[in-house]
Amino acid sequence: MSNSGYHVLSELETIQYVKKIPGLFSENALLICKELGDGNLNLVFRITEKGTSGKSIIIKQALPYARVVGESWPLTLDRSRIESDALMIQNILCPGLVPKVYLYDKEMSLTIMEDLSTHINMRKGLITRNQYPHFAKHIGTFLARTLFLTSDLALEPQYKKQKVVKFINLELCKITEDLVFTDPYYDATTNQFNPLMKEVIKEIWDHAELKLEITKLKERFLTHAQALIHGDLHTGSIMVTEKDTKVIDPEFAFYGPMGFDIGNVVANLLLNFCAHEGCSLDQKERLQYQDYLLNIVEEIWTIFEKEFRALWKGNESSFYASVQGYDDDYILRLLQDTLGYAGCEMMRRVIGLAHVPDLESIDDPKLRAKGERLALAIGQQLVLRRETVWTICDLTALVRYIKNREVDED
């Protein structure tokens, strides 16, 4: 990759850059640029036209290192290509469910895309207990279409393998391999957790069966090139309004196990569920919202499965379509993978480097530990019992059971 012309943009340079691109803004537009400062890895600029048009765009530029750590953690600029390519594919497969890409500049490692300032980050929405009546339908559809239509179920193997090569994502996969599947399961320096959780976490480090199952899930993450997955589909990668859903930030995209994406969505809803154990709401309101969250989990899977089966049936010419029972078998394995990866995500968000604001926003460490303990209990059981689960309701029943058990213990 040639990036000889690459340099990090300032806000002023970004305006100059944008002005040179025909069709974005009128020639005499007065533009305001602000770097939003909320990226872990990248610069994110919003450019707004002053005046009544209200027109705005986002420019996301990759830095040659991880912003959250600094230049000591170099990262390839190529992730910018992966992100824009993934967005373009997702936009074809699920029009309207990802931001539109206006331009990708390889040399500058930047992507100009639709501004979503009318949307809020789904995680923030869940923390303030908003409800999103269309979210399950949108994300279930997004998952079914992006996963099915990039897999061997829909593509000729030869074509799919070319995509596997295009989306080899060495460095960002390594982040996941380390921070999700490795570091949380021993006393790694990257871990940072609530000191009150130390005893429970030590039990996890000593839990041989759990570590074996985590390793099998890691092996699958490393070897199972099933579909072009988003790779980082937590609720912070989803922007919502009451009516709309947009999935953003697919820079971790690669060919991996479908259940990793579905599991990440489920886990982050469950992490919010757990955080509610540590909040100071009255019990009724808390239980209602927790019920709402479990209902969305069920609804997401139900919609996902329905859409996935419809795509399967619509693909009658494929060899797979005629194999009796293959759809049921495939979908059951997806559900079990989903549980496994959801469990990994829940545990690493309590033990590892990157925590979630749902729990972190609870100031009192004792209250936070209540939610964290529940997250670890659910995460463990999702991993350990994933192969005993047959329907999505088995999952939500398991969550309710563990919650009641943990709460009784208090």
215 vs 288 by CB, closer to a second copy: 215
Q: How far is CA 122 from the centre of its chain?
A: 11
Nearer to a second copy, 60 or 160 (CB): 160
Would you say 103 or 173 has its CB closer to a second copy? 173
Q: How far is the CB of 169 from a second copy (least distance, A)?
A: 9
Cβ neighbours for 41, distance < 8 A, ≥ 6 positions apart: 62, 63, 66, 67, 68, 75, 79, 251
Phi then psi for residue 133, to 5 deg, are -60, -20
How near is the Cβ of 216 to a second copy at its closest, in Å? 7
Q: Minimum Å distance from CB 172 to a second copy?
A: 11
For a second copy, the closer of residues 32 and 170 by Cβ is: 170
- CA end-to-end distance (rounded Å), the chain: 56
Q: Judged by CB, which is closer to a second copy: 6, or 330?
A: 330
Give the separation between CA 377 and CA 357, rounded to whole angstroms. 19
The amino acid present at 29, given as its one-letter code, is: A
Compute the least distance from the CB of residue 151 to a second copy, in Å: 8
Q: Rounded CA gap, 78 and 63, in Å?
A: 10
Contact positions toward a second copy, by CB under 8 A? Answer: 152, 157-158, 160-162, 164-165, 168, 170-171, 173-174, 177, 182, 208-209, 211-212, 215-216, 219, 222-226, 319-320, 323-326, 329-330
Q: Which residues contact 310 (CB under 8 A, 6 or more apart)?
A: none
Q: Which helix (H) or strand (E) holds 74?
A: strand 70-74
CB of 213 to a second copy, least distance (A): 9
Residue 297 near residue 391, CB atoms below 8 Å: no
Q: Which one, 68 or 212, has the nearer CB to a second copy?
A: 212
What is the nearest approach in angstroms of a second copy to the Cβ of residue 35? 31
The residue among 283 and 322 lying less far from a second copy, judged by its C-beta, is: 322
* Integer Cα distance of 137 and 302 in angstroms: 9
Distance CA 32, CA 289 (A): 39
CB of 158 to a second copy, least distance (A): 4
Asked if 300 and 140 count as a contact pair (C-beta separation under 8 A), the reply is yes
